[in-house]
Copies of this chain bind each other. A is one copy, B any other.
């Protein structure tokens, strides 16, 4: 999932039964709360959500972002990534899946199985790249890098028109995601606007010069693994 484009039409049909428990949540609500022992998976259908951790003193860090098509836990079955919460950044429509159900389907369907491994791979790669951003990129580089990544991700699910797309995150949310204060996000954003690289009005982002924005933020799309197919082998699939 993540990039469902990789799934064939018949694959998608297999997933339909999963979409029985469709729910929705308003912006700011939690879909899953930290520490809850029994957790289900969340497949975001519409809106943006995130996984985050909150420190005792209130500091908050968003760990990963979910746009439509994204699955909350890579491979849909690491039930113990539960020391973080899942929150809605906008009003969200989502399907709540039972891990066992997804596992059963994956077992019976090679395409789905591969797609899940691919999703896991991309998720981890993005996580790596986020570490690089937080550790070594400046504020505006982080923003530029994020926008380039989002443009690519949203394009895969048909939510980007060229280099324009909806970016419904609040500046405070961006700060929590990129490890910056709200005020500094605002100023860095203006810097990017000032250079003519982007426009951001009414929650709509236009990247005027993707090449240049990617260059200044040291963005190398390789880590998203789009275009290249699946890696040769995946483990765990013992039935042929």
Q: Which residues of A contact B (CB under 8 A)?
A: 53, 55-57, 59-61, 63, 74-81, 83-84, 99-100, 102-103, 106-107, 113, 116, 120-121, 124-125, 127-128, 130-132, 134-136, 176, 178-179, 218, 220, 222-223, 225, 231-239
Contacts and interface: CB of A to CB of B under 8 A. Distances in A.
A238 B239 contact: yes
Contact of A236 (B53, B125, B235): B235
Q: How many copies does the complex hold?
A: 2
Given A75-B235, A237-B238, A127 B125 contact: no
B106 A235 contact: yes
Contacts of A55: 132, 136, 218
A180 to B, nearest CB: 8
A178 B135 contact: yes
Contacts of A235: 75-77, 99, 102-103, 106-107, 116, 236
Contacts of A63: 128, 131-132
Contacts of A79: 231-233
Contacts of A223: 83
Nearest to A215: B56
A125 B121 CA distance: 15
A137 B125 CA distance: 23
14 contacts: A55-B136, A61-B131, A63-B128, A77-B235, A79-B232, A81-B125, A83-B220, A84-B128, A99-B233, A99-B235, A106-B235, A235-B236, A236-B236, A237-B238
Given A103-B233, A103-B236, A124-B127, 20 more contacts: A53-B128, A55-B136, A76-B235, A77-B234, A77-B235, A78-B121, A79-B233, A81-B128, A83-B125, A84-B128, A102-B235, A127-B131, A130-B131, A131-B131, A131-B134, A134-B135, A135-B176, A236-B236, A237-B238, A238-B239
